[in-house]
Amino acid sequence: MTPPLAVFFALAALAVIGAVSLILQKHPIHSALSLIVVMVAIAGLYLLMGAEFVAAVQIIVYGGAIMVLFVMVIMLLNAGVEEHTSLSKMAGAPGLLLVVALVGFVAATVARSAESVQGSPQMGALSPTSGISNMIFRDFVYPFELTSFLILVAILGATMLAQREKN
């Protein structure tokens, strides 16, 4: 096993363990911490692929800004330990089916795209920041700006709703 492959498996295992722990933890803060672990592990995977910029942005935006907000809100609301109810059979049976279907779908997609992944750009080819900015601000400028606009509208809407409640 080459060192990059070993690092990949370590990071992937960390991400999966974090994701499972996110669901199983009883306290909201512990769940949020698990989610941070997942985010950082995924950033590590990006770094392994040579996408340094994406890795850094992943940690800054998801690991830093968004998760800090999560943690802060949980702290502010002083959320306690969750109560665990027994698994309802109504939700359990379709859920299990859905899990099987999803795993099958992902596995099929991975299996089909195996050849195209082989020919994908080599490590480090994704890294130059100028390439990313060219893509965002030249090739895909309209979708990008539209998305930003959508987010802006969502922020304004949230502010509006919060204000109305106060009045």
Partner 1 sequence: MTAILAANAELIITIIKIVLLLFIVLTVNAYLTWFERKVVAHIQSRWGPYRVGPHGLLQPLADGVKFLFKEDPTPAGVDKFVYYLAPLLALALAMTSIAIIPFGPDPIRVFGHDIYLGIAPPDLNIGILALFAITALGVYGVALAGWSSNSKYPLLGGLRSSAQMISYELALTMSVVGVLLLAGSFNLKEIIAAQGKHSEWGLLGWNIWPQILGFFCFFVAAIAETNRAPFDLPEAESELVAGFHTEYASFKFAMFFIAEYTSMITVSCLCSIMFFGGWLSPFPASWTWTHYLPSLILIPFGAWVIWDGFRYETIFGKLILPVVGTAFAGLGGLFLALPGVNDFIQAPFWLLSKIFVFLFVYVWMRGTLPRFRYDQLMAFGWKLLLPVSIVNVIVTSFAILKWGAK
Site residues (CB under 8 A) for partner 1? 27, 29-30, 33, 36, 40, 43, 52-53, 55-57, 59-60, 63-65, 68-69, 71-72, 75-76, 127-129
Rg of the Cα atoms in the chain: 20
Taking the complex as a whole, the smallest distance from the CB of residue 13 to partner 1 amounts, in Å, to 20
- Of the two residues 60 and 136, which places its CB atom closer to partner 1 in the complex? 60
- Of the two residues 109 and 159, which places its CB atom closer to partner 1 in the complex? 159
Q: Quick one: angle between helices 3-24 and 28-48, nearest 10?
A: 160
Taking the complex as a whole, the smallest distance from the CB of residue 9 to partner 1 amounts, in Å, to 19
Q: Quick one: angle between helices 67-77 and 28-48, nearest 10?
A: 170
- Of the two residues 14 and 30, which places its CB atom closer to partner 1 in the complex? 30
Taking the complex as a whole, the smallest distance from the CB of residue 129 to partner 1 amounts, in Å, to 7
Taking the complex as a whole, the smallest distance from the CB of residue 2 to partner 1 amounts, in Å, to 14
- Of the two residues 61 and 108, which places its CB atom closer to partner 1 in the complex? 61
Taking the complex as a whole, the smallest distance from the CB of residue 55 to partner 1 amounts, in Å, to 8
- Of the two residues 17 and 33, which places its CB atom closer to partner 1 in the complex? 33
